Amino acid sequence: MPQDVDFHIPFPSRRSPDFERARADHLSWPRALGLIGTEAAAERHSRGGYADLAARFYPSATGADLDLGVDLMSWFFLFDDLFDGPRGEDPQETRKLTDAVAAALDGPLPTSAPPIAHGFADVWRRTCQGMSAAWRARSARHWRNYFSGYVDEAVSRHLNTPYDSAGHYLAMRRQTIGVQPTVDLAERTCHCEVPQRVFDSAVLFAMLQIAIDTNLILNDIASLEKEEARGELNNMVFILMREHGWTRGRSIAHMQDGVRTRLEQFLLLEACLPKVYDTFELTARERESAEKYRMDGLRSVIRGSYDWHRSSGRYAADYAIAASYQGYLEELGSTL
């Protein structure tokens, strides 16, 4: 994230005390699956700081729980990179790959499935351990929404019809930013489940939407130079400029104001949670689960995203430009 674009996040920075151990071994999993095949690819992946991201998203997780978070973050970005080339402009090819990956939600994959699908299947299997059938069904729905969002993006690129309003763009990006499955995993790493009746409440729903919107705004600011370099038009900065005729600076300032307003609302909603717990007559254990979700799910995914975007090498100007990046895509694509 450009250092001159600041966002005041009213939550303290946190990171798992097991971070260094997890970082030291974080390449073993994608290497074992064949998702990283060369030292150049390993170096590029390491620059992303995905172990750091997981340690910030799941600050109370240690051991195998943190490893699961790290592997999910590695998978997320390896998967996302597959759509930066021609596949991301071809709706049929996009659907073919997302369907192959999403099939892991329904049962075992055939051995012929691509490595990126087997990687997701492994993460999904570990994610489901110890979780109820209702939770697994809820999380699976969120994953399906995430995958379908990639097809929507591909249709926009294929038709060369970039989003013409921030509202339409937000509706799509709320799926592909992947925050919902990320926050779902916080319940798994904390070994807790938010009662469904509370999860469906207007208060918690609004808090989750704020976490999602904040993440996608932070991501669009961080990736602005990278996306501009490859001609991407679907970034909120560019959309605001087209929609309102604003300068880049005014568009960014508008996004900063939007984050500040959302987080002020988040704090007000937090203050309502005790009343929500009383209304739904939560037991002491259910209250504890809901509080873990608030602290180690919603708050940490907001603050963790901000801290990671400011330190990750993924959004450096030279990370995804021209020949070196095309070579990486060809290597990654060959694993399909």
Is 309 assigned a catalytic role? yes
In this prediction, residue 323 carries a pLDDT of 34
Is 235 assigned a catalytic role? no
Show the CA angle centred on residue 15, arms to residues 11 and 18, nearest 5°.
Answer: 160
Task: Report the sign of the C-alpha dihedral through residues 16, 40, 77, 332, in that order.
Answer: negative
Task: Report the sign of the C-alpha dihedral through residues 89, 141, 280, 10, in that order.
Answer: negative
Residue 1 lies in a domain: no
Is 45 assigned a catalytic role? no
Element (H, E) at 204: helix 202-222
From the list 74, 156, 201, 219, the catalytic residue is 219
Structural domain that includes position 36: 19-333
Residue 7 lies in a domain: no
Residue 57 lies in a domain: yes
Is 96 assigned a catalytic role? no
Query: How many separate domains does the chain show?
Result: 1
Q: Report pTM.
A: 0.93
Measured distance CA(320)–CA(34) in Å, rounded: 21
Residue 9 lies in a domain: no
Question: What single DSSP character describes residue 26?
Answer: T
Is 292 assigned a catalytic role? no
Residue 96 lies in a domain: yes
From the list 120, 308, 312, 314, the catalytic residue is 308
From the list 14, 173, 303, 314, the catalytic residue is 173
From the list 201, 223, 235, 289, the catalytic residue is 223
- Per residue in 120-174, pLDDT (tens digit) is 999 999 999 999 999 999 999 999 999 999 999 999 888 888 888 999 999 989 9
Is 77 assigned a catalytic role? yes
In this prediction, residue 54 carries a pLDDT of 98
Among 88, 45, 36, 72, smallest CA distance to 227 is for 88
Is 118 assigned a catalytic role? no
**Which parts of the chain have pLDDT scores under 70?**
1-4, 317-336
Is 314 assigned a catalytic role? no
Type of residue found at 95: R
Residue 10 lies in a domain: no
CATH number of the CATH domain containing 226: 1.10.600.10
